[in-house]
Structure 1
Amino acid sequence: MFNLDLDHSNPLGTQRNVRYLQYISAFCAGILQVSQFVNLAWGSPTVPLLLAKDSPIGRPLTYDEVSWMLSIIYAGIIIGSVLLLLLFDRLGPKSILMVGAALTIISWILLGLAKSFAMLIIGRVIAGIGDGISFPCISIYICEIASKDIRGRLGAIPVLIGIFGNVFIFGAGPYLGYQTLIISCAIFPSIFLILFFFMPNSPYYLIRRGRKNEAKTNLMRLLGSNAPFEVEISLKEIEDTVRRETEGETLMQLLLSPNFRKSLLIVFVAHNIINFCGLTFISPYLQVILASSGISLSKELTSVIYGLVQVPAVILSGILMDKVGRKPLFCVSSLGASVTLIIEGVYIYHQDVKLGNLSFVPVVCLTLYKFFISFGILHLPYFIVGELFTTSTKKVGSFIVTAYSSIVVFGSIKIFGSMFSSWGFDTLCWIFGSVCFIGVLFSLFMLPETKGRSFDEIQNNLSSKNTSPPEQINQ
């Protein structure tokens, strides 16, 4: 991330350049996000097919096997996060993202050819490895190529593009055959590989590797300018940031620093909120939940609505993120999700009572829940990883958070899958709603505001007990 707000930093008064390549790069990253969302939601239309007597693998799966198939992807994500830790400094975010896409393509090939439960498991594990190695790198890549004044909206672009993966799965998935769905899913990472090959690498990564000339060339492309003055200012800022974060301290000293511990705690809490807000359970089990809720609309139509509602939520979030900041978005997102889940739970609890004209409540609540989740909780915990960690600690921080979250989600899908049949969906709604309300307290008292701040300003803010508004820091 570098300062390109030329209205203030350029004494010549040059007009702000059109940074179209930053937007194109973010759009391409969004295509990979589509693939990642498809990987996670693939079970929604596929589970009924695999449970049927004419299962595409030759025999119907049991519910226990289905829970393993849905959750095992997170074991692969853990493996992928370890590979990310080992390969990040060597390959850089751009190459890591391309490796993740290639692994995803391999996973779809295996799932398409699967004629046994074991082959399904192998395919899902490889899909998880691809997601684990690439998912954290999307926010890191965006933050390292973005200007600070548009970093928030650039960070929202991959999520906005990515949600079309959910729309596709929930909307088209129920109407496509097993093989057709897999071929369609494999198209997304294939397109990404072709387009992203031409995108620039992170200038921060290139400076860390001593490739200054290449970093300067990429900066010129990202700035949309050949003016030496503009490029040199940004290049010097990147060099100074990398130098301060790497000189005089070992990696272990950086990891033990108060800033890293504070950043890790903030990201850790944020990820616990998204891990236990219900999203990872509700999405793959959506068809089953809708069938048990007694809704009047068809499950297929409700799935389409559930997927499409994310679009206006993420667009609005992207517009507001650089205007009102991260804290208000996370607060509103958490509060809205909490209220809708609690109401959903109350309705399900009283489902045996004749509620007359209130049959629309479960659909409305699930739709509003997905809207509020997409407004902030869905993407901010991942985005702040790229903002709060320094360039030297991002790989370790990403590894810790991704590995932990994968273990938690793996276990929660198994546990909540059992609780769904024994405790009922109403109880799960109240549990998830309580977690979302914790997100309100987190956003008010713990989450730092990073709107409009450079990496150095964010680290200085973490070091300070008294947080100053961004406007004061920038002045």
Structure 2
Amino acid sequence: MEKQEELQEPGKLRQFVFAIIVNLSSVSYGFMMGWQSPSVPQLQNPLPVVGSEPMTDNNISWMNGILCLVGTFATMLLLVIPDKFSRKRFGYMLLLPMILSWLLIIFATEHLHIYIAKALSGITGAGVFFLVSNYVSEISCDSIRGILASLIGFSLNTGILLAYILGGMMSLYHLAVIGAILSALFLITFVFIPESPVYLVRENRTREAIKSLNRLKAGNTSAVEQALSHLQLQIKEVTSMRSAKLSDLFRDKATIKGLIIILGLFFGQQFAGIFAVISYTESIFQMAGSSLSPNTSSVIVGAIMLLGSFLSTSLIERMGRRLLLLISCVGTCTCHCVLGAFCYLQNLEYDISAYGWIPIAALSIFVIVYAVGMGNGPVVIMSEIFSRDVTSMASIVGLTMCWAASFVIIKTFADLIVLLGTHGCFFFLAICCACSFLFCFILVPETKGRTREDIVNELNGEVQYEKNKNVKHIIETDLVHATHV
């Protein structure tokens, strides 16, 4: 009966379309992340496209470092934005750093312009993760919330792959023009999506909330009334929903445990080693004896990662979040061990030329299993395990951890190679993945097909919900048995 009602729930297609539209911002941000890889040769050319001198390797590393550092502080600044701030208004504001970043690259004459553009990209990234994760969480029904939340990873990788492909065919100037066009496309389509009904109900704008729910529920009156009553009841019961504070993240066992879970997941996501593997894509292909160009290698990896994101979106409601996370941790750990062992044998000058396919296979498998679990999983889990009143605040704290961990791994990885060697770094990342597996196995609950309230109750240690379900099942079974008798 529950499955039948779930399938008949109206508005799923509309919610999916609106989630795709808001994720155009993720595609645009992915393009911002991806343009650097194919454009580095142009920036380091003896006659660079920007500035009078070519950029050094240290300059290039700071481009990513600035993005992550500014993204960390920008995410922390989001703490001052109250929950009653309009999601659509925030989306319009987000376009400002997005467009300015591309304009700076288009008209850049000095390296400083590129650095400022990267800083604006960090602000954009912080805003995109906050907007998409919260908006999708607030417009989607429980049955498809996981699928819609996982779209952000697919959208990001789409933007990155698009930048890799176009970057190999055009100049940085034309690449920036394409990026500006993508931002304009987001603006044009964003106008047509509804405001978050959670925000409207919170602001006592009931008529507008009904209009929004009508669009989200395909005009189904009973579904709109049920959703509106549910939201109003939630806000009435949770008095802190109007002005969630940082201290609210420590108010009860469920919220504290949820915070620990998302902090651990985002830390594990960054220390799974995706940056290291992408950075050493060219070297891994060279180890295999490949003659492919660096840009072609990047395009191949980007395509594989996009495939992994697609698989994640397809499997997340079939296999569940927890299982995919565990598979991802085991897979990434194994791939790091294989790459580390291959590099170690190379250092010992063993003849392993006949096994050159192994590092490419390990790289390909790593990218897929990372995207399937650790790539999308933390964002999906984050959208499901908190009460609605603290979801935004918890998202900001979790994303701050994500940015900070990313900055640490980017700026320290070169030093780790000097200290541990390339093989030692891969073994270190394998240990991090093993720790993430234990963390997920012990602490992360399965959230597939469950209501937010049920998940929060489990984190609080309450088993009443499951007992009630079991009692209801027993009573229904007894009634059926009695009828047959």
- Aligned residue for 1:86? 80
Deviates further, 304-313 or 204-213: 304-313
| Correspondence for 1:455 among 414, 427, 452 | 452
CA drift of 1:50 comes to 1.8
- Aligned residue for 2:190? 196
CA drift of 1:182 comes to 1.8
- Aligned residue for 2:262? 267
Deviates further, 436-445 or 363-372: 436-445
Is the counterpart of residue 394 in structure 1 residue 387 in structure 2? no
Are the equivalent residues in 2 in contact too, given 1:6–1:16 (CA < 8 A)? no
Quote the Cα distance in structure 2 between the aligned partners of 1:157 and 1:84.
Answer: 22
Quote the Cα distance in structure 1 between the aligned partners of 2:236 and 2:447.
Answer: 22
CA drift of 1:209 comes to 1.4
| Correspondence for 1:306 among 296, 301, 304 | 301
| Correspondence for 1:243 among 221, 225, 236 | 236
CA drift of 1:369 comes to 0.7
CA drift of 1:358 comes to 1.3
Matched residue type, 2:36: G
Quote the Cα distance in structure 2 between the aligned partners of 1:47 and 1:267.
Answer: 34
CA drift of 1:6 comes to 8.7
- Aligned residue for 1:72? 66
- Aligned residue for 1:219? 213
Quote the Cα distance in structure 1 between the aligned partners of 2:8 and 2:398.
Answer: 40
- Aligned residue for 1:29? 22
CA drift of 1:100 comes to 2.3
CA drift of 1:136 comes to 2.5
TM-score of the pair, normalised by structure 1? 0.90
Matched residue type, 2:39: T
Instruction: List alignment gaps of at least 5 residues for structure 2.
Output: 474-485
**Residues 354-393 of structure 1: CA deviation (Å, up to 9, x unaligned):** 2132112222211111100100101111222221222222
Q: Spell out the pairing of 1:463-474 with structure 2 (5 A cutoff).
A: 463-464=460-461, 472=469
Deviates further, 83-92 or 42-51: 83-92
Is the counterpart of residue 152 in structure 1 residue 146 in structure 2? yes
- Aligned residue for 2:275? 280
- Aligned residue for 1:176? 170
CA drift of 1:27 comes to 1.0
How many residue pairs align between the two structures? 466
- Aligned residue for 2:481? none
Are the equivalent residues in 1 in contact too, given 2:82–2:243 (CA < 8 A)? no
Question: Cα distance 1:241–1:323, how it changes in 2: closer, same or farther (>3 A)?
Answer: farther
Question: Cα distance 1:417–1:248, how it changes in 2: closer, same or farther (>3 A)?
Answer: closer
Are the equivalent residues in 1 in contact too, given 2:382–2:395 (CA < 8 A)? yes
Sequence identity percentage: 24
| Correspondence for 1:119 among 107, 113, 116 | 113
Q: Spell out the pairing of 1:222-371 with structure 2 (5 A cutoff).
A: 222-227=216-221, 229-246=222-239, 251=244, 254-257=248-251, 258-283=253-278, 285-286=279-280, 289-290=283-284, 293=287, 295-298=289-292, 299-351=294-346, 352-371=349-368
| Correspondence for 2:180 among 182, 186, 199 | 186
Are the equivalent residues in 2 in contact too, given 1:151–1:322 (CA < 8 A)? no
Are the equivalent residues in 2 in contact too, given 1:335–1:436 (CA < 8 A)? yes
CA drift of 1:468 comes to 7.5
Are the equivalent residues in 1 in contact too, given 2:285–2:297 (CA < 8 A)? no
Matched residue type, 2:428: I
TM-score of the pair, normalised by structure 2? 0.88
Are the equivalent residues in 1 in contact too, given 2:457–2:463 (CA < 8 A)? no
Quote the Cα distance in structure 1 between the aligned partners of 2:466 and 2:300.
Answer: 39
Quote the Cα distance in structure 1 between the aligned partners of 2:285 and 2:42.
Answer: 15
